[in-house]
Amino acid sequence: MSIEQTYDLAIEGMSCAACVGRVEKALAKVPGVDRAAVNLATEQARVRLAETLDPADLVAAVEKAGYGAHLIEAGAGPDKQAEADTLRWESIRLAAAILLTLPLVLPMIGMAAGVHWMPPAWVQLVLATPVQFWIGGRFYINAWKALKTRTGTMDQLVAIGTSAAFGLSLYHMATGGSDHLYFEASAAVITLITLGKYLESRAKRGTASAIRALMALRPEEARVKRGDTIETLPVAALMEGDILIVKPGERVPADGRIVEGRSQFDESLLTGESLPVEKQAEDNVIGGSVNGSGLVEIAVTAVGGDSLLARIIERVQGAQASKAPVQRLVDKVSGIFVPIVLAIALVTFLGWLAAGAGSETAILNAVAVLVIACPCALGLATPTAIMAGTGVAAKAGILIKDAEALERAHGIRTVVFDKTGTLTEGRPRVTALLPAEGVADEELLSLAASVQQGSEHPLAKAVLAAAEERGGGIPKAQDFDSLPGRGVMATVEGRAVLIGSPRLMQEKEIATSALEEQAAKREGEGNSVVWVAADGRLLGAIAIGDRLRGSAAEAIRLLGEKDIETALLTGDNRRAAESVASRLGISTVLAEILPDGKADAISGLQEKGGIVAMVGDGVNDAPALAQADVGIAMGSGTDVAMEAASVTLMRPDPLLVLDAISVSRATVAKIWQNLFWAFIYNIIGIPLAALGYLSPLIAGAAMAASSVSVVSNALLLRRWKPRAGSRKD
């Protein structure tokens, strides 16, 4: 039976992009695996299954490829203790390497100042040996594992290069040429690469800061009200319906609904909203938000993986584990990088010999080629930028489903907006009743409200709210039936009642001409008009208005300034849609489109060329969101819309659409910057080393600096600021 299941694995022992390719190939060969993506920056693999299998098979496949692996529990974030232990161990190794290498390197610096003194050969050997075989031992181990699987990695380049310098020194010691030793070169290269790896690890921790910040929002304990007593329980033990007591300044332990009290809640790390949100009884609160000054009681509505925080974390982790399309180029280069470098090193060695240079010079120049070549920078260029970009986006309230969506969004040329709940506040209200001759307002509203009891549409809620405000009775409806894109029908006290669009009235041959002029006037003011009929006779029409969001006009204007076209796509009548579009400055209006026709409308825009984004919030927007090149769902909308979309906005603010495009452009720019520097570094560095312009020591320093610079450049994305970051509708 076909399934869709995903496992995350922590991978140990990867050093460069070539390692990524090896692990991916090993996982892809496991029967039942649909797709495997490995991220060098996070040192994790995400595996999607096409059929059920034992996760132990995945771990075994990775170990067979020469790496360590273990399963990561769903929803688990970075292991802080493991990271701290690894970093501490790395710092110890680095300190030892520096202490052992300095006595070898300092005399070289002294020689540049005219001081000629070197430690005895045996002292150099004693100092260099632990650096070569203890500090650098992992290069030999990983190189051997790669060799057994017939692949090339950075570890092989370092192991061969430093072994050549170390071996040449041993040869000279054995033959009495102690004046020509290169222990300092091999030790310095290993120390510099170890330093680079240490700095790289620290920098990579910064790219995962968004996940750590989200994980820190999870309280460990909660106060639960049980009758007249209050118990303190682990958050993992909470169940739906439990009543939580949350004091001022505390984090809300789980998603819930306020049953008593009122307060302000800081949701900034979850939604990007910088200002606290006022909430009272019956309002929903998000687990992980911070309670303000009030004492509140909250009924739990979602726990564990169903909570909003857990879903946000899963989204961010999924995006950071995915691969951008540009990574395919890097993967192809990485697959042949090490063999090419080995060939260049061999040609360098033979070339210098042929040119009449001694074997010593030929070996040192070949070693410089091996050491300066850096597949690490290539492997880190894209994933570090993706991690940093999705991280800052999440902090701004923009959840990006995968790296492909992040990369694609930078080229958006057209943004199509749904109207209700997207450009408007999604809280429509009845603005006018237009009863037919001989029909009372109360009869019109009561029958309409009765039928709308079975609908979740925002317009239906507006009719129900108006009927409840008037205090009239709402009869119970029977035989409710929804007519997608047209309206609804039901039987109320023996009467067959219809409520919906002019199209529905035309289908049922119900004349609306008597009220069309009044309806047109209301539609021209931006209202939606629904028609009501009973037993084949028109009862009247109801005008329903919805306020535009405060930032909608500004968002449309700013998109236009960036040469991004905007369009309005709605099932509403054309006059109302054109009124809204006119007020906002939208030139293209696609109105009176049925839900199943919205995807076709998006397809039509795509045929004109350019990347098309769709912004919506309702179930009826899901087909269009899925059809669009980039689907953007308002987080205040339905789960169906969010599942269909590739980007979710945690606040219903149209300016976040602009921010989503902005962060995509910033991230893609960083990716190309990183790839440029990674490629140009190797394109320039390898020939210089081959021509003898770089010593192994300088080559090692350059190699270490390349990876650190790529990661550091990606971290500059953390300076990106959202335009909508401090706004509040």
- Positions annotated as catalytic residues are 418
Residue 335, amino acid: G
Dist. CA 533–CA 510, nearest whole Å = 8
Dist. CA 648–CA 659, nearest whole Å = 12
Dist. CA 443–CA 205, nearest whole Å = 65
Task: Output the CA torsion sign for 139, 141, 147, 149.
Answer: negative
Dist. CA 143–CA 157, nearest whole Å = 8
| Residue 227 · residue 261 · CB < 8 Å | no
Dist. CA 724–CA 310, nearest whole Å = 24
Neighbouring residues of 26: CB distance < 8 A, sequence distance ≥ 6 = 61, 62, 64, 65
Helix 80-112 to helix 183-207 angle (10° resolution) is 140
Q: Residue 545: is it exposed, middle or buried by C-beta count within 10 angstroms (0-12/13-18/19+)? A: middle
| Residue 406 · residue 319 · CB < 8 Å | yes
Dist. CA 649–CA 627, nearest whole Å = 18
Dist. CA 88–CA 94, nearest whole Å = 10
Sheet holding 611-616, edge to edge: 398-400, 647-649, 630-634, 611-616, 412-417, 565-569, 588-590
Dist. CA 546–CA 245, nearest whole Å = 36
Mapping DSSP onto H, E and C, the string for 139-201 reads HHHHHHHHHHCCCCCHHHHHHHHHHHHHHHHHHHHHCCCCCCCCHHHHHHHHHHHHHHHHHHH
Dist. CA 184–CA 170, nearest whole Å = 12
Q: Residue 468: is it exposed, middle or buried by C-beta count within 10 angstroms (0-12/13-18/19+)? A: exposed
148 CB neighbour count, 10 Å cutoff: 11
Dist. CA 254–CA 263, nearest whole Å = 16
* Of residues 473, 349, 405, 396, the one with CA closest to residue 635: 396
Residue 3, amino acid: I
| Residue 621 · residue 598 · CB < 8 Å | yes
What is the 8-class DSSP label of residue 399?
A: E
Structure tokens, 682: 């190797």
Q: 263 forms bridges with which residues in the sheet?
A: 279
How many CA atoms lie within 13 Å of 242's alpha carbon, on the beta-carbon side?
25
Task: Give the E-state strand segments of 89-146 in sequence order.
Answer: none
Dist. CA 540–CA 515, nearest whole Å = 7
Q: Which residue has the tokens 């335009």?
A: 723
Dist. CA 279–CA 253, nearest whole Å = 16
Which contiguous run of DSSP H or E holds residue 223? strand 221-226
* Of residues 229, 209, 232, the one with CA closest to residue 219: 232
Neighbouring residues of 709: CB distance < 8 A, sequence distance ≥ 6 = 377, 677
Q: 430 forms bridges with which residues in the sheet?
A: 544
